[in-house]
Structure 1
Amino acid sequence: MTSDDVTVAGQRALVMGASGNVGACVTRHLAAGGADVRVLLRPTSSTRGIDGADIDRRLGDPFDPATAAKAMADRDVVYYCIVDTRAELKDPAPLFATNVEGLRKVLDVAADANLDKFVFLSTIGTIAVGADGEQVDEDTPFNWAERAGSYIESRRAAEQLVLSYAAERGVPAVVVNVSNPYGPPDWQPRQGMFVQMAALGKMPFYVRGVGSEVVGIDDAADAMLRASVRGRVGERYIASERFMTHRELVTTAADAVGARRPRIGIPMAVVYGFAYLADAIGSVLPVQVPMSRQSAFLLAHTSPASHAKATRELGWTPKPTEGFIARAAEHYVQRQQAGV
């Protein structure tokens, strides 16, 4: 699955977070590329994304230093893909417990592990936002901290922690800032929620005037693998193919499976209204609604980003994301028809 100019054959890899969509895809790419792959999963973690792959599975708490050290022993590269993405949480404590404090425990182990690389899965959300659609890159100063909310705050803190361990503790860390990834199998869709709804004919509307950076799931994994071989320690690399409007996203998904196109364009104000209602419900009832003012804000607050650095230094050339969205839509429909 890797390109001809980069190989992971023989690489002794540990994937932490292989139950997630990106982590599972990284695992599959490594196994297909001839790497010696080990994954560390909690006993309760889903393995559907890696079932059938020729890998060494270890079970345990990744934030337990002894467990992490044992899993990391004799490994060349760690791919760290553990992340809590629940921007809608009323209480942000779990975000920081996983995204920052759990990571800190793993980095302490990595500092003594004699690794070649520690490839950290970060997010496009830690990149700046350009004014009036201006394109940004890894070096554009972050400019929306006061509006970012707890999820982005936790991801920025995580990224800064990784870079500090690279500078001060000798961890050979490389950061990959992945945008919204699309593609099968995506067993637990979050970014893929709108694609899934459109494919299943449950998305009559699109949101006007907004969009996001997108990337195919296989290209996201390829960027991670390339970072393990060519990435410079202490550097960040944007892994995103292009900016896509919300209308393009859901229309591509619907067209792929012959579903009715979402035809009603609603303003972002309506989404914010629903988000305020969701927050109100969550404040009085013991439920967690998968929408909030903060997650709505993240939907609207984005801009085009350049992947030129990843192309120049990693040799990363992503394919059009439309094809990955179409494949994801087909899989969602197939799974519904199979009752899976």
Structure 2
Amino acid sequence: MSGRPPVAVTGGAGFIGSHVTTALVAAGHPVLVVDDLSTGRAANLAGVRDEVELLEADVADPGLSRQLRAFGATVVCHLAAAIDVRASVADPVTDAQRNVVGTVAVLQAAVDAGVGKVVFASSGGSVYGSATPPPVPETAPLAPESPYAASKAAAELWFATFRRLHGLRWTALALANVYGPRQDPAGEAGVISLFADRLLAGEPTTIYGDGSQTRDFVHAADVAAAFRVACGPVGDDRRINIGTGVETTVRELHTVLAGLCGAPDQPRTAPARAGELHRSALDAGLARQLLGWAPAIGLADGLAGTVDWIRSTTPARLAGAGQAAAAARGPLRP
């Protein structure tokens, strides 16, 4: 039995969650993954599947507290969420049910199970809105411009309330735009995996807006390292930015990815989408101060590794998609 405290990871079979799970296992923590596998995939845990417990359940399941207590969890890393900004604009009620009510359910389950701390995946790329020019520090006012961002901001009020009521410690890691292996281009993907998947397939790509919009791209492995540290007795009861502080335009990103994929750098353009910011980058000075954290993977290396991963997994993903489509169609008829 490891001497490290047991940790539960909601959404632990998802893109970022699986990286967090892997980092915690590597550090010697027993890990319980809680995931309904609606967007997460058990295959994301292939490297650690024999070393973790996988509970296929929704975070709002009333039995979650019993499972947390049985596992002995002392910390919960809460990453389960609906992450599609456009879907949140189209259907804010469903977004709130999944992201606000789901978070409150996790907090209550944590309290009932005697968990000491929750580490939350917030969104530094959206909670600050566009009022403060980047790189944005944690002292900037919260100004969400989408229901998704509002759900992340609302979570902090719930954390503070549970801290006062029950003494539950918390840390909200406000993440920049996370990328890396395991980000499914066919799912609720980021721009890097979407571009790379289409460029490798020789399919057209689309830039929404004029391409001058910027993002702060941080690798999933670096994000996982921040979660691992935040599971300890540091950074309590506050939001901490996790990003690089560097702005990269979407147009620049497309050029780099086209080169890595050996594809023409000729994206289509379309109108900008509602709820998305024009500029975004985070000041991560507090993370260096409180967590001893700084990004270790540069964008050039990270993009190359991500493209290699997408290239290596494309046949398997296409085969899986074909099998799923066949199953949906049912048996062939003469």
- How would you bin the TM-score normalised by the shorter chain? 0.7 to 0.9
Are the aligned partners of 2:235 and 2:291 in contact in 1 as well (CA < 8 Å)?
no
| Post-superposition offset of 1:67 | 2.6
**Deviation larger for 76-85 or 55-64:** 55-64
| Post-superposition offset of 1:203 | 4.5
- The AA in structure 2 aligned to 1:332 is I
Task: Tell me the SS of whatever aligns to 2:121.
Answer: strand
Task: Tell me the SS of whatever aligns to 1:103.
Answer: helix
Are the aligned partners of 2:65 and 2:112 in contact in 1 as well (CA < 8 Å)?
no
Could you tell me which of 296, 318, 333 is aligned with 2:295? Answer: 318
Could you tell me which of 312, 330, 338 is aligned with 2:308? Answer: 330
| Post-superposition offset of 1:48 | 1.7
Counterpart of 1:51?
A: 46
Take 1:72 and 1:250, find their aligned partners in 2: how far apart are those partners? Answer: 47
- The AA in structure 2 aligned to 1:86 is D
For residues 332 and 122 of structure 1, do their structure 2 counterparts lie closer, same or farther at Cα, with a shift above 3 Å needed?
A: same
Alignment of 1:87 with 2:85, yes or no, is yes
Task: Tell me the SS of whatever aligns to 2:293.
Answer: coil
Alignment of 1:248 with 2:260, yes or no, is no
| Post-superposition offset of 1:88 | 1.8
Deviations 1:113-152 (A, max 9, x none): 3333211111111135355x4432111112x44xx12222
For residues 257 and 59 of structure 1, do their structure 2 counterparts lie closer, same or farther at Cα, with a shift above 3 Å needed?
A: same
- The AA in structure 2 aligned to 1:159 is E
Take 1:329 and 1:189, find their aligned partners in 2: how far apart are those partners? Answer: 17
Deviations 1:31-90 (A, max 9, x none): 122211111222655212112312112233321232333234411211111110122222
Are the aligned partners of 1:120 and 1:173 in contact in 2 as well (CA < 8 Å)?
yes
Take 2:164 and 2:256, find their aligned partners in 1: how far apart are those partners? Answer: 43
Where do 1:115-264 residues align within 5 Å? Answer: 115-124=115-124, 125-131=126-132, 133-142=133-142, 144-145=143-144, 148-187=145-184, 188=187, 190-191=189-190, 192-203=193-204, 206=207, 207-241=210-244, 242-262=246-266
For residues 168 and 126 of structure 1, do their structure 2 counterparts lie closer, same or farther at Cα, with a shift above 3 Å needed?
A: farther
For residues 302 and 161 of structure 1, do their structure 2 counterparts lie closer, same or farther at Cα, with a shift above 3 Å needed?
A: farther
Counterpart of 1:284?
A: none
Runs of 5+ in structure 2 lacking a partner?
320-334
| Post-superposition offset of 1:102 | 1.6
Take 1:196 and 1:311, find their aligned partners in 2: how far apart are those partners? Answer: 33
Deviations 1:208-264 (A, max 9, x none): 321112100100111111111253221111111232111222222222232223467
Alignment of 1:11 with 2:5, yes or no, is yes
**Deviation larger for 44-53 or 10-19:** 44-53
Could you tell me which of 60, 65, 69 is aligned with 1:68? Answer: 65
For residues 325 and 65 of structure 1, do their structure 2 counterparts lie closer, same or farther at Cα, with a shift above 3 Å needed?
A: same
Take 2:293 and 2:282, find their aligned partners in 1: how far apart are those partners? Answer: 15
Normalising by structure 1, we get a TM-score of 0.80
Take 2:6 and 2:237, find their aligned partners in 1: how far apart are those partners? Answer: 21
Where do 1:32-43 residues align within 5 Å? Answer: 32-42=26-36
Take 1:318 and 1:114, find their aligned partners in 2: how far apart are those partners? Answer: 33
Deviations 1:286-332 (A, max 9, x none): xxxxxxx42xx41x433332001001110111031332222112222
Counterpart of 1:280?
A: none
Number of residues of Structure 1 aligned to a counterpart in Structure 2: 302
For residues 61 and 134 of structure 1, do their structure 2 counterparts lie closer, same or farther at Cα, with a shift above 3 Å needed?
A: closer
Are the aligned partners of 1:182 and 1:214 in contact in 2 as well (CA < 8 Å)?
yes
Are the aligned partners of 1:257 and 1:330 in contact in 2 as well (CA < 8 Å)?
no
Normalising by structure 2, we get a TM-score of 0.82
Runs of 5+ in structure 1 lacking a partner?
1-7, 273-292
Are the aligned partners of 2:68 and 2:113 in contact in 1 as well (CA < 8 Å)?
no
- The AA in structure 1 aligned to 2:76 is V
Take 2:22 and 2:254, find their aligned partners in 1: how far apart are those partners? Answer: 27
